[in-house]
């Protein structure tokens, strides 16, 4: 009989296995029987059921990042902000108080300032480079502090050991957003942090084509609470993005090494150009937090650097146009170098006075350094800077 329609059949059997992790976009999984499904839900036999609750590409990726962070049971979610959301919604309830660094990633700041207060959570923002400011903010109901080791775009280095000590003494959980530093620069669990957050979108994945987040939690009970929140709020990661990120992660160490070395050399190169007023790179001796940076990061200055040129928006426009091989794009962690201009992007909502207080002028640029040949980068940036002189 002629077959006029196609029905699903099981995938072909194979006793050999693919070298590459299979991409598994299936939203749902079949089980043999109600007994088997019951056993899966009870955790007695392994298996996935519905991809919002978990799927092989997310779990596989999570185990790889766990390895880098020295964590167990990390959870991969749909974006870095989903990881921040999962942390806040898993830990906090009405009446709690949360402390955040006042130079956190823009959307994290907005979550603290605009979303949590309407749910009855009290918020204080502090200068994370000043231990006394952190200590002063502690209240009896303080539950959590969210901190980034290196701030964006001002490259200030938080007083991590003091923060961890103060929070430990006061029974306050510390969540470290480790996106900028990466586990190559700093491993929060080695220093006593409770929660690690990543925007996997950035360096870990490394190719600006996958949007993902990760959260690891030291306490097993709290970890399960946060995982439940990710399922209930639907913070799920896409299998394809997980698959891309896994592929990117295999070259993370090489990319990090090369990009950091490039950044260190470029920081010195830029500092020597007459159009450059100042360069911010953690391991340079003229960095405002140099001693702490060396203490925390040793020689791992990372791939991010900021610098300031003289002049106003016109000079800024001229510089960006003249660097025409270096994409002008407000993100970081790509395999290639990108330039961003905080005054017109991440910090555009601030008043010029508020920006000036942070040192973010119209001539302030942030570079996310990639793996290109260092000589090419030096030449292209020099060409850009020469036009502004
Ligand atoms: C980009 C970023 C985030 C948000 O991550 P998304 O993947 O874009 O949601 C959070 N924290 C830091 C430090 C970031 O750079």
Contacts of 228 (CB under 8 A, 6+ apart): 90
Q: How far apart are CA 206 and CA 99, in angstroms?
A: 30
Whose C-alpha lies nearest to ligand 1, atom 1? 199
Q: How far is the CA of 364 from the centre of ligand 1 (A)?
A: 21
Pocket test for ligand 1, best of 61, 65, 179, 333 (most atoms within 8 A of CB): 179
Pocket test for ligand 1, best of 65, 77, 80, 347 (most atoms within 8 A of CB): 80
pLDDT at residue 350 in the model: 86
pLDDT at residue 10 in the model: 87
Beta bridge partners of 95: none
Q: How far apart are CA 314 and CA 140, in angstroms?
A: 50
Measured from the Cβ of residue 2, the count of other Cβ atoms closer than 10 Å reads 3
Q: How far is the CA of 78 from the centre of ligand 1 (A)?
A: 11
Whose C-alpha lies nearest to ligand 1, atom 4? 80
Ranges of residues in the chain with a pLDDT under 70 are none
Output the CA–CA distances (angstroms, integers) from residue 114 to 109, 119, 201, 351, 371, in the order listed: 8, 10, 24, 18, 38
Pocket test for ligand 1, best of 61, 201, 210, 302 (most atoms within 8 A of CB): 201
pLDDT at residue 301 in the model: 93
Q: Are 79 and 201 in contact (CB under 8 A)?
A: yes
Output the CA–CA distances (angstroms, integers) from residue 49 to 17, 42, 146, 229, 354, in the order listed: 22, 12, 33, 17, 50
Rounded to 10 degrees, what is the CA torsion of 277, 281, 283, 284?
Answer: -10
Whose C-alpha lies nearest to ligand 1, atom 8? 80
End-to-end CA distance of the chain: 80
Environment class of residue 40 by beta-carbon count within 10 Å: exposed (0-12), middle (13-18) or buried (19+)?
middle
Which ligand 1 atom is at minimum distance from the Cα of 148? 13
Which ligand 1 atom is at minimum distance from the Cα of 180? 13
Q: How far is the CA of 280 from the centre of ligand 1 (A)?
A: 21
Output the CA–CA distances (angstroms, integers) from residue 53 to 26, 80, 229, in the order listed: 12, 18, 10
Q: How far is the CA of 108 from the centre of ligand 1 (A)?
A: 8
Q: How far apart are CA 134 and CA 123, in angstroms?
A: 13
pLDDT at residue 349 in the model: 85
pLDDT at residue 147 in the model: 98
Pocket test for ligand 1, best of 85, 148, 199, 206 (most atoms within 8 A of CB): 199
pLDDT at residue 296 in the model: 93
pLDDT at residue 51 in the model: 97
pLDDT at residue 1 in the model: 73
> Ligand 1: which residues within 6 Å by Cβ?
79-81, 105, 108, 148, 152, 177, 179-180, 199, 201-202, 211, 213
Q: How far is the CA of 81 from the centre of ligand 1 (A)?
A: 6
């Amino acid at each position: 009989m002629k077959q006029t329609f196609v029905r699903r059949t099981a995938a072909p059997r194979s006793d050999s296995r693919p070298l590459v992790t299979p991409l598994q976009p299936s939203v749902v999984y079949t089980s043999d029987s109600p007994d088997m499904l019951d056993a899966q839900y009870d955790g007695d036999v392994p298996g996935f059921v519905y991809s919002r609750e978990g799927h092989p590409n997310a779990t596989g990726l999570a185990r790889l990042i766990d390895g880098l962070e020295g964590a167990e049971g990390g959870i991969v979610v749909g974006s870095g902000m989903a990881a921040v959301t999962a942390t806040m919604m898993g830990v906090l309830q009405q009446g709690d108080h949360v402390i955040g660094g006042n130079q956190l990633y823009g959307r994290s700041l907005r979550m603290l300032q605009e979303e949590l207060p309407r749910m009855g959570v009290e918020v204080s923002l502090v200068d994370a480079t000043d231990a006394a400011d952190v200590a002063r903010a502690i209240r009896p109901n303080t539950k959590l502090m969210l901190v980034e080791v290196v701030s964006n775009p001002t490259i200030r280095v938080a007083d991590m050991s003091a923060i961890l000590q103060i929070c430990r003494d006061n029974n306050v959980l510390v969540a470290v957003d480790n996106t900028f530093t990466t586990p190559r620069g700093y491993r929060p669990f080695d220093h006593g942090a409770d929660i690690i957050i990543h925007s996997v979108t950035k360096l870990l994945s490394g190719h600006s084509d996958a949007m993902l987040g990760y959260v690891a939690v030291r306490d097993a009970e709290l970890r399960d609470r946060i995982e439940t929140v990710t399922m209930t709020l639907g913070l799920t990661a896409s299998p394809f993005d997980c698959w891309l990120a896994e592929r990117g992660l295999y070259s993370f160490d090489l990319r990090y090494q090369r990009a950091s070395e490039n950044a260190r050399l470029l920081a010195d190169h830029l500092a020597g150009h007459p159009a450059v007023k100042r360069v911010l790179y953690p391991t340079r001796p003229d960095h405002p937090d140099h001693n702490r940076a060396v203490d925390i990061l040793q020689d791992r200055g990372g791939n991010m650097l900021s610098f300031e040129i003289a002049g106003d928006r016109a000079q800024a426009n001229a510089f960006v146009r003249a660097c025409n091989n270096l994409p002008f794009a407000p993100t970081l962690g790509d395999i290639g170098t990108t330039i961003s201009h905080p005054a017109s992007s991440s910090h555009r909502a601030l008043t010029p006075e508020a920006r000036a207080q942070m040192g973010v002028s119209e001539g302030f640029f942030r570079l996310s350094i990639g793996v290109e040949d260092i000589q090419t980068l030096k030449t292209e940036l020099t060409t850009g800077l020469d036009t502004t002189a």
